[in-house]
Amino acid sequence: MHETLQKAVTRVLSPLVRLVLRHGVSHAEFANWAKQAYVNEAQAHFGIDGKSPTVSRIAIVTGINRKEVKRISELSSEVNTGVSKHNRAIRVVTGWLQDKDFQNAKGQPVSLHFGDPEDSFNQLVKRYGGDVPARAMLDELTRVGTVKNINGKVSLLQKGYVPHKSEAALLDLFSTSASDLLTTLDYNLQQSNAQGRRFQMSVAYDDVTDEGRKAFQALSAEQSLALLKHLDQTLSEYDRGANPTVQGEGKNRVGLGIYWIEDANEENQNEH
């Protein structure tokens, strides 16, 4: 079992190691980050009878000495990943794509005017951006390359919030998406009953032609966007941030992620 776990974790770590190597992170620095993650996770999830674990308990669970556990525990836990900011940006862009007030007769998002409170972009942000000022939202969307602003006329450049001009924003989305997926996979591994597992499915083939790849990429992009638009519209009806009038108990973060799978098959490539 341990060998199987080792192989699985090593495979999961591979793309993460590629990322940190590209950013010049040494093994020693990465090991320190891993140590901090060990302590944080032990604190959050490995207490007994619902109680927070002691330093000694964390040391036993993680194998890290008590002095080091205490030092790491006293580090600032505030990590500003920008998730809240990005969630609001996603809502604004999604509203632009879905709300008929900001579309033409064919259902396509139109260019909006920014300036006075009654201008269309300002109204879009007011409707979907919560308490974020329109100017701040415009600056953020422009910075990450989602929109362009020419003399107060704002145009949407992408069919969604995909920040391609900001590495920091992309890293925030990377950490959120990867964490969401791994959390679901870990949860499912703990469930003995298949009915209690969270939704987790994918489709992939390993010997697809270049023509098939292009055709499937276009089809999956179109259908995935349509599905996400529908799911977003439905889910937003139950979210207090998007719909302040909603009534109910609890405060849950729920959603569904869709991602493209591609990996060059070197064996097949060498055959041609």
Domain boundaries, the chain: 13-78, 82-191
- 121 and 133 Cβ atoms separated by less than 8 Å: no
For residue 101, the 8-state DSSP code is G
pLDDT for 85 equals 59
pLDDT above 70 for 84: no
- Residue range 37-80, pLDDT digits in tens: 999 999 999 999 889 999 999 999 999 999 999 999 888 655 44
Instruction: Quick: pLDDT tens for 174-225.
Output: 888 899 999 999 999 999 888 899 999 999 999 999 999 999 999 998 899 8
270: pLDDT strictly greater than 70: no
Categorize the per-residue pLDDT at 272 as very low, low, confident or very high, splitting at 50, 70 and 90: very low
Alpha helices by DSSP H, listed for the chain, are 2-22, 27-45, 55-62, 66-73, 83-98, 120-128, 134-143, 167-189, 210-236, 266-271
CA distance 191 to 195: 9
- The pLDDT assigned to 207 comes to 92
pLDDT value at residue 80: 45
Residue 258 neighbours by CB distance under 10 Å? 13
pLDDT over 90 percentage in the chain? 57
- Model pTM score: 0.69
Chain segment 121-165, per-residue pLDDT in tens: 999 999 888 778 999 999 989 988 889 999 999 999 887 777 666
Q: Over the stretch 213-262, which tens digit does the pLDDT of each residue have?
A: 999 999 998 899 889 888 988 998 898 877 888 899 999 999 999 999 99
In the β-sheet with 112-113, what is the strand arrangement from edge to edge? 112-113, 153-156, 147-150
Coil, strand or helix: which one is 48? Answer: strand
Buried b (16+ CB within 10 A) or exposed e, 107-136: eebebbebeeeeebbbbbbbbbbbebebee
Contact status, residue 157 vs residue 147, Cβ threshold 8 Å: yes
